[in-house]
Amino acid sequence: MQSLTAAAAAIELRGIDKSFGAVHAVRGVSLAIPRGSITGIVGENGAGKSTLMSILYGLYRADAGQILIDDRPVDMASPRDAIAHGIGMVHQHFMLVDTFTVLENLVLGAEGGPLLAGGFAAARAELTRLGQEYGLTVDPDARIADLSVGEQQRVEILKVLFRGARMLILDEPSAVLTPQETDRLFEILKSLRARGVTVVLITHKLREIMAVADRVIVMRQGAVVAERRTTETSTGELAELMVGRKIRLDLDKAPAVHGQTMLAARDLSLVDRRGVRLLNGVDLELRAGEIVGIAGVSGNGQTELLQVLSGIRPPTAGQLEVCGRVIDPAHPIDPAEMRALGLAHVPEDRLRQGLVAAFEASETSILGYQDQPPYCRNHLLDVPAVDKHCAELMRRFDVRPQTPGLRSSHFSGGNQQKLILAREMSRLPKVLLVGQPTRGVDIGAIEFIHRELVKSRDVGCAILVVSVELEEILSLADRILVMSGGRIIGEVAADQADERVLGRMMADA
Amino acid sequence: MSLVAPRSVRRPLPRWVEIAVLPLVNVALAFLVVGIIARTIGVDSFHALKLLLVGAFGSSESIGYTLYYATNFIFTGLAVAVAFHAGLFNIGGEGQAYIGGLGCGLAVLALDRYLPGPLVIVLAILAAAAFGAAWAAVPAWMQAWRGSHIVITTIMFNFVASALMVYLMVNVLIAPGSMTAQSRGFAESASLPSMQAVLKSIGIAVAPSALNLAFVLALLSSVAVWIFLWRTSWGYALRTMGHNAEAAIYAGTSIRRMTMLAMCLSGALAGGVAVNELLGVHHRIVLDFPAGYGFAGIAVALMGRSHPLGIVLAALLFGALQQGGAELSFEIPAMTREMVVVIQGLVILFCGALAHLPRPWLQALFGRRG
Amino acid sequence: MKRWVGPLIAVFAVVCLGLFAPAQAQTQATIKPAIVFSTGGKFDKSFNEGVWQGAERFKKDTGIAVAEFEPSNETQFEQALRRFAQRGQDPIIAVGFAQAVALEKVAKEFPNIHFTIIDSVVNLPNVQSVVFREQEGSFLVGVLAALASKTGKIGFVGGMDIPLVRRFQCGFEQGIKYANPNAELITNMTGTTPAAWNDPGRGAELARGQIDRGVDVVYAAAGSTGLGILQATKDRGKLGIGVDSNQNHLHPGNMLTSMLKRVDVATYESFKAAMDHQWKGGTQVLGLKEGGVDWALDKDNEKLVTPEMKAKVEAAKADIISGKIVVHDYMSNNSCNR
């Protein structure tokens, strides 16, 4: 493949090939990343971009092909080699010691001798220099636990630069950031580029790629299918290239037909053991046949609201009525009873709650329903029935690969999410709670998930969607509630809302 | 879309290498080191290895003892594994086995003069399980409701069990006029038949050994544990809790109840040691019969990868080492019982903790297609 | 998934290798004596070691090899006794009361082999049972302790809390009361598990605790734990009493005496008798009269024992031998009160 730029390549991959058993993850990929540029790599889950970057960072070894750094072939046997060649990686999950200060984290692994004092002084000087040069300012003596997520990410970037990296790989950097923090991050990336640092950005957010990257590489099914200058492409074209077919990003849906109230919360409050008020008098009504969206900056009580509504935590005050049953602090309920009432719940964090990574997909497909026929009779599991059920879910929701015996962790994020959604929707619940329906899910799957949710609504399910993606809320919801500080601070009908209105409400809170 | 590293470090090997060659290399490495040690203390290492193997499998008597030891290891290995699948580290197998022995013994001592033998045996087995479970239930309760860490409390309960048993044996249960702290003997009818007697009744002659019907009970327990863990909704919920407690809460499983269930089952299984030792061999309550089997169960479960079949096989290996090791120190005085412990430790080290040590070499040999 | 296959293959390999069954080498000797120690092991600094010393002396005197086995659990008692009997070892000494049940079983299977059990009684024609009246020896060192104590407070630190140790304690207490009815005895047991025989650290701690409460003579009846007890008494300048073998040499000047339990003699005599075809079954109860227990007086402690003390102890010894003093045995009724 021919590079689009004339600038010298900082990183060049030639014919990289990698298989995991029967899965051909990367198929003869050749690409060049010019020095001092920001390059985006986009693709669906399982397109091979993660594997490719792992090979570059020395985590995997390619079956075939060559890696060239500054035009010299190198052998990446481990991340240590990658670091030695000036490649640094910022992971989606930060690798910081919470109880250490910024400086201590920076020095960790590069102490420079048994006595820390010298290393610390040198590190402090270096930190000041880096801060001035790239605008990466962080208080060196602050404890990590006291920093915001955006600042923690800055520490991660500093850590990589501190070790002399000239090439930076960022994996889904904006997934955990607020919009403001994302903007801040992009400024930093641009100033890094101005100083000659090469940045590779892995993301599924096409708009961000368009905003910050110079070039974008699109991968599909293990191969590079296109390379574009961002100035010469559009999100629509990129989405199409990623999926390999036309994508409709907007959702066509009929107006909601409201039925009776299925879930009602009155003055619902939740105070934790330390006395922190997590939910502060939430009033909420959910009727059959509508989708209610909850918008808000993450960490404003959405997680706790879902926990209380699904029966995981009892409210400390107020009342909740679900399908005719009243729940209050004196009459708690557990999630299993909630399910029996007809409430299904797609949790916000699928890896931590929605599935068991070590379980086979078929086992994950009955999580929460393991006591129910036909999967289980007299407490004995009917394994063929479970497998059949799982295969059926996989077929209906297009979960790939369609192998009920495969470990849940071996599915891509989008396929995991589809499996969980399939599980929760297959029992035709009366109420469906969905947290972050498409977090970390690729664009083709997003389309599918949204359609399924609307289909469910149309047959009379009452759906509550919590999402930090305003776009998603706007396209899915019939009514939108804005949450802040553990309270519902406003309601907007979907046809009167746009990002500006919602953004203002969220900001004013 | 994440690039998290750790999982990737292990590169795949061809399946047959993973299953067959790797463990063989591990055992071979362990014996290589044993051989070097044996040589340095002046013992012919090949001769020693032969003695060890013949001692464990060379005759019907030695096989009997190997299986008898394996019985204890199966019970404690299963006990550790069941708790482990629930994410609980039960270090208290020793104490649970000990108190299981108290239940087992009390049942026999109370009933053997009044009820028919088979009935007493069944009741004694149930009592062993119930007492073992009860002893595990206390730490489980303390963890589930009070937040005391189960590793700490189960260890402490081993000491409490030991002290309690010594007190009871020395002051209460001691047979009148006995020189030693042991109870009166169980009635002949209320003892678990030895395997020799059972096989004799169907026309198979074997040498006498400590092997008794508890071995069959241990095998049945393994099957039962497998069914419980992988074929019941309770086992499903238990494993969910062990792998991902938050997912279990999400699924509506009560963590407290499941902690109790897992620990009680674990304790009941540990009580199986008492069945083998007291009902099967000693035919009386004696002091210190758990003799470290409870702790060894941790290694057995680890080596058996917490799978019942793996545990049975690991228990066989441990049983063979115990029996073969005894024969070894019997024949070669220089191989003291401390040396035998060293051998056992090395095998555990290489097959358990260092199981992946030879992986890079094998990768170089077989891993090309990776 | 199938991780269990690994161990399966491993075991299979072990079985395969096991097919080279070797023949047994036999050694020839006039008698082929053997010892099965108790689980404490032969270097327990206590009576296992006494047996071992007796056997070593026998080896040196006669040049006859003695086979030994240290079981690591109680099931191995029976196994080891039977294996020795099958190999034609004769006589076989079983050390420790815990072997009684196993020995009874094996002795019945091999009526032509001579067995000796130490510290317990098995009533079979081919079994010689050797028991000691430890209470008598303990009585004597109790008398000595009461006479030597300036504070009138005397300590006893036992090993594992079992009837046998209480027999020591009970005899010791009677000796103290005999010499000084007002003396006070403070008793501690190291523990309730066999680890209590081998915990010098804890022993030292208990001894220091007793010394803090005014004790100035401590009787250590606790196997290897005793080494810590005696070290602690020496460090604090107090007097210690050893047990089983003569431990006076450990801390000359700080060892008041040792309660001797001559298992070494019993072992030696048993082998010797078998060699001379003099071996007899039945029970031997070895007390002061038979020289089975005694108190130790040698150059290491002669300065501590005044002539008056010695006279008093020797008088008590004579009275016990003559039957004038009857020392109560704790194990006769599981109580120190008769």
What pLDDT, on the 0 to 100 scale, is given for residue A363?
94
Contacts of B262 (CB under 8 A, 6+ apart): B82, B83, B85, B86, B88, B140, B238, B241
What pLDDT, on the 0 to 100 scale, is given for residue B174?
83
Report the residue count for chain B: 370
What 3-state DSSP class applies to B259?
helix
Q: Which chain B residues touch A312 with a CB distance below 8 Å?
A: 249-250
- Percent of residues, chain C, with pLDDT higher than 90: 59
Burial (Cβ within 10 Å: 0-12, 13-18, ≥19) of residue B141:
middle
Least confident of A432-436, C168-172, C197-201: C197-201
Q: Name the residue in chain A with its Cα closest to that of B234.
A: A379
- Which of these, B29, B39, B49, lies nearest to B327 by C-alpha position? B49
Whether the Cβ atoms of residue A25 and residue A48 lie closer than 8 Å to each other: yes
What pLDDT, on the 0 to 100 scale, is given for residue B227?
96
- Closest residue to C120, CB basis, from B180, B304, B313: B180
Using the predicted structure, report yes or no on whether residue B130 has a pLDDT greater than 90: yes
What pLDDT, on the 0 to 100 scale, is given for residue A496?
83
Using the predicted structure, report yes or no on whether residue B8 has a pLDDT greater than 70: no
What pLDDT, on the 0 to 100 scale, is given for residue C16?
42
Confidence of residue B7 (pLDDT cuts 50, 70, 90): very low
How many angstroms separate the CA of residue B73 from the nearest CA in chain A? 27
In this predicted model, what pLDDT tens digit does every residue of C56-96 receive, in sequence order? Answer: 999 999 999 999 998 888 888 988 999 899 889 989 999 98
CA dihedral A200, A202, A204, A209 (to 10 degrees): -10
A144 C-beta neighbours (distance < 10 Å), count? 18
Q: Which chain C residues touch B98 with a CB distance below 8 Å?
A: none
Contact C7 B310 (CB under 8 A): yes
Confidence of residue A455 (pLDDT cuts 50, 70, 90): very high
In this predicted model, what pLDDT tens digit does every residue of B224-239 receive, in sequence order? Answer: 999 999 999 999 999 9
Confidence of residue A135 (pLDDT cuts 50, 70, 90): confident
Whether the Cβ atoms of residue B351 and residue B27 lie closer than 8 Å to each other: yes
What pLDDT, on the 0 to 100 scale, is given for residue A382?
93
- Closest residue to C10, CB basis, from B24, B51, B180: B24
Confidence of residue A112 (pLDDT cuts 50, 70, 90): low
For B:226-245, CB contacts with A below 8 A are 230-234, 236-237, 239-240, 243-244
- Which of these, A224, A202, A196, A197, lies nearest to A16 by C-alpha position? A224
Using the predicted structure, report yes or no on whether residue A355 has a pLDDT greater than 80: yes
Whether the Cβ atoms of residue A26 and residue A16 lie closer than 8 Å to each other: yes
- Closest residue to B179, CB basis, from C3, C70, C120: C120
How many angstroms separate the CA of residue A354 from the nearest CA in chain B? 6
Q: Position of tokens 């689009």?
A: A4
C264 C-beta neighbours (distance < 10 Å), count? 22
Q: What CATH class does B47-351 carry?
A: mainly alpha
Using the predicted structure, report yes or no on whether residue A115 has a pLDDT greater than 80: no
A325: β partners: A322
Half-sphere exposure (Cβ direction) of A211: Cα atoms closer than 13 Å: 14
How many angstroms separate the CA of residue B256 from the nearest CA in chain A? 13
Pairing of strands C67-69, C34-36: parallel
Interface test with B, best of A55, A60, A356 (most B CBs within 10 A): A356
Contact B247 A353 (CB under 8 A): yes
Q: Which chain B residues touch A347 with a CB distance below 8 Å?
A: 250
Q: What is the average pLDDT across C101-105?
A: 89
Domains along chain A? 9-243 (3.40.50.300), 249-342+430-509 (3.40.50.300), 353-428 (no CATH)
In this predicted model, what pLDDT tens digit does every residue of A466-501 receive, in sequence order? Answer: 988 788 888 899 999 999 888 999 899 888 887 777
Q: Which chain A residues touch B234 with a CB distance below 8 Å?
A: 379
Nearest-angstrom CA–CA distance, B334 and A485? 74
A63 touches chain B (CB under 8 A): yes
Whether the Cβ atoms of residue B24 and residue A75 lie closer than 8 Å to each other: no
Domain boundaries, chain B: 47-351
For the whole prediction, is pTM greater than 0.80? Answer: no
How many angstroms separate the CA of residue A411 from the nearest CA in chain B? 11
C27 touches chain B (CB under 8 A): no
Q: Name the residue in chain B with its Cα closest to that of C27.
A: B331
Contact A171 B233 (CB under 8 A): no
Using the predicted structure, report yes or no on whether residue B276 has a pLDDT greater than 70: yes
What pLDDT, on the 0 to 100 scale, is given for residue B356?
77
- Percent of residues, chain B, with pLDDT higher than 90: 58
What 3-state DSSP class applies to A246?
coil
What pLDDT, on the 0 to 100 scale, is given for residue A6?
47
The average confidence (pLDDT) of chain C is: 87
In this predicted model, what pLDDT tens digit does every residue of A239-270 receive, in sequence order? Answer: 888 877 665 556 677 787 888 999 999 999 99
- Which of these, C262, A125, B89, lies nearest to C270 by C-alpha position? C262
Confidence of residue B58 (pLDDT cuts 50, 70, 90): very high
3-state helix, strand, coil in chain C (%, to 5): 45, 20, 35
A508 C-beta neighbours (distance < 10 Å), count? 10
In this predicted model, what pLDDT tens digit does every residue of C148-168 receive, in sequence order? Answer: 999 999 999 998 888 889 999
- Closest residue to B3, CB basis, from A20, A171, A352: A171
Q: Which chain B residues touch C132 with a CB distance below 8 Å?
A: none
Q: Is B344 or C35 the better-scoring residue by pLDDT?
A: C35
How many angstroms separate the CA of residue A303 from the nearest CA in chain B? 13
Half-sphere exposure (Cβ direction) of A436: Cα atoms closer than 13 Å: 22
- Which of these, A268, A439, A273, A425, lies nearest to A352 by C-alpha position? A439
Using the predicted structure, report yes or no on whether residue B19 has a pLDDT greater than 70: no
**Subunits with 3+ C-beta pairs closer than 8 A to C:** B
3-state helix, strand, coil in chain A (%, to 5): 35, 25, 35
Nearest-angstrom CA–CA distance, A220 and A227? 12
The average confidence (pLDDT) of chain A is: 86
- Closest residue to A356, CB basis, from B232, B240, B252: B240
Using the predicted structure, report yes or no on whether residue C310 has a pLDDT greater than 60: yes
What pLDDT, on the 0 to 100 scale, is given for residue A508?
63
Longest CA–CA span in chain B (Å) reads 75
Whether the Cβ atoms of residue B107 and residue B120 lie closer than 8 Å to each other: yes
Q: Name the residue in chain B with its Cα closest to that of A413.
A: B1
Q: DSSP for A107-136, please give it.
A: HTT---SS-HHHHHHHHHHHHHHHHHHH--
What pLDDT, on the 0 to 100 scale, is given for residue B367?
56
Contact B23 C7 (CB under 8 A): yes
What pLDDT, on the 0 to 100 scale, is given for residue A22?
66
Domain boundaries, chain C: 29-132+262-293, 134-260+306-333
How many angstroms separate the CA of residue B236 from the nearest CA in chain A? 7
Task: Tell me phi and psi for residue A179, to 5 degrees.
Answer: -55, -40
Q: What is the average pLDDT across B289-306?
A: 89
What is the 8-class DSSP label of residue B224? H
Interface test with B, best of A171, A371, A382 (most B CBs within 10 A): A371
Interface test with B, best of A209, A273, A355, A370 (most B CBs within 10 A): A370
Contact A92 B1 (CB under 8 A): yes
Confidence of residue C50 (pLDDT cuts 50, 70, 90): confident
Contact B243 A60 (CB under 8 A): no
What 3-state DSSP class applies to A302?
helix
What are the helix (H) ranges across C222-306? 225-235, 263-275
Nearest-angstrom CA–CA distance, B76 and B69? 11
Contact A379 B234 (CB under 8 A): yes
C29 C-beta neighbours (distance < 10 Å), count? 12
- Token output for A161: 């630069």
Nearest-angstrom CA–CA distance, A292 and A463? 6
Least confident of A131-135, A198-202, A459-463, C232-236: A131-135
Interface test with C, best of B21, B179, B230, B329 (most C CBs within 10 A): B179
What pLDDT, on the 0 to 100 scale, is given for residue B369?
45
How many angstroms separate the CA of residue B2 from the nearest CA in chain A? 6
Contacts of C297 (CB under 8 A, 6+ apart): C257, C305, C310
How many angstroms separate the CA of residue A252 from the nearest CA in chain B? 28
Q: What is the average pLDDT across C241-253?
A: 90
**Subunits with 3+ C-beta pairs closer than 8 A to A:** B
Using the predicted structure, report yes or no on whether residue B173 has a pLDDT greater than 70: yes
What pLDDT, on the 0 to 100 scale, is given for residue A336?
93
Greatest mean pLDDT among A104-108, A495-499, B31-35, B58-62: B58-62
- Closest residue to C18, CB basis, from B56, B313, B317: B56
Nearest-angstrom CA–CA distance, C75 and B194? 14
A42: β partners: A218
- CATH number of this structure's domain C29-132+262-293: 3.40.50.2300
Pairing of strands C115-118, C127-132: parallel
Nearest-angstrom CA–CA distance, A428 and A461? 8
Confidence of residue B122 (pLDDT cuts 50, 70, 90): very high
Using the predicted structure, report yes or no on whether residue B370 has a pLDDT greater than 50: no
Using the predicted structure, report yes or no on whether residue C1 has a pLDDT greater than 70: no
What pLDDT, on the 0 to 100 scale, is given for residue A160?
86
Contacts of A109 (CB under 8 A, 6+ apart): none
Same fold flag, C29-132+262-293 and C134-260+306-333: yes
Contact C74 B336 (CB under 8 A): no
- Which of these, B341, B229, B305, B292, lies nearest to B97 by C-alpha position? B292
Q: What is the average pLDDT across B187-196?
A: 91
Burial (Cβ within 10 Å: 0-12, 13-18, ≥19) of residue A330:
exposed
Interface test with A, best of B234, B250, B368 (most A CBs within 10 A): B250
Q: Is A257 or A179 the better-scoring residue by pLDDT?
A: A257
What pLDDT, on the 0 to 100 scale, is given for residue B35?
86
Contact B233 A371 (CB under 8 A): yes
Using the predicted structure, report yes or no on whether residue C114 has a pLDDT greater than 70: yes
Strand segments, DSSP code E, in C161-307 are 184-191, 217-221, 239-244, 255-261, 282-286, 293-295
What pLDDT, on the 0 to 100 scale, is given for residue A151?
83
In this predicted model, what pLDDT tens digit does every residue of B91-105 receive, in sequence order? Answer: 999 999 999 999 999
What pLDDT, on the 0 to 100 scale, is given for residue B179?
64
Whether the Cβ atoms of residue B86 and residue B241 lie closer than 8 Å to each other: yes
What pLDDT, on the 0 to 100 scale, is given for residue A393?
94
Using the predicted structure, report yes or no on whether residue A308 has a pLDDT greater than 70: yes
**Subunits with 3+ C-beta pairs closer than 8 A to B:** A, C
What pLDDT, on the 0 to 100 scale, is given for residue A131?
80
Pairing of strands A277-287, A38-43: unpaired
Question: Quick check: ipTM above 0.85?
Answer: no
Which residue type is seen at C325? Answer: I
Q: Name the residue in chain A with its Cα closest to that of B237.
A: A370
Confidence of residue B114 (pLDDT cuts 50, 70, 90): very high
Handedness of CA B176, B177, B181, B185 (dihedral sign): negative
What pLDDT, on the 0 to 100 scale, is given for residue A463?
96
Tell which CATH architecture fits domain C134-260+306-333: 3-Layer(aba) Sandwich (3.40)
In this predicted model, what pLDDT tens digit does every residue of C261-281 receive, in sequence order? Answer: 999 889 998 999 998 888 888
Confidence of residue A114 (pLDDT cuts 50, 70, 90): low
Pairing of strands C255-261, A38-43: unpaired
Contacts of A28 (CB under 8 A, 6+ apart): A15, A16, A17, A64, A65, A223
Q: DSSP for C36-89, please give it.
A: E--TT-TTSSSHHHHHHHHHHHHHHHH----EEE--SSTHHHHHHHHHHHHTT-
Whether the Cβ atoms of residue C263 and residue C47 lie closer than 8 Å to each other: yes
Nearest-angstrom CA–CA distance, A150 and A74? 34
Q: What is the average pLDDT across B151-163?
A: 94
Confidence of residue C231 (pLDDT cuts 50, 70, 90): very high
What pLDDT, on the 0 to 100 scale, is given for residue A117?
67
Q: DSSP for C82-113, please give it.
A: HHHHHTT-BSEEEESGGGHHHHHHHHHH-TTS
Using the predicted structure, report yes or no on whether residue B355 has a pLDDT greater than 80: no
- Which of these, C124, C126, C123, C102, lies nearest to C112 by C-alpha position? C126
Pairing of strands A462-466, A376-377: unpaired
Q: Which chain A residues touch B247 with a CB distance below 8 Å?
A: 352-356, 367
Confidence of residue A5 (pLDDT cuts 50, 70, 90): very low
Q: Position of tokens 């192998």?
A: A403
For C:141-200, CB contacts with B below 8 A are 160-164, 166, 192-194
User: Quick one: how far is CA A467 from the chain centroid?
Assistant: 11
Q: Name the residue in chain B with its Cα closest to that of C8.
A: B313
Contact B247 A352 (CB under 8 A): yes
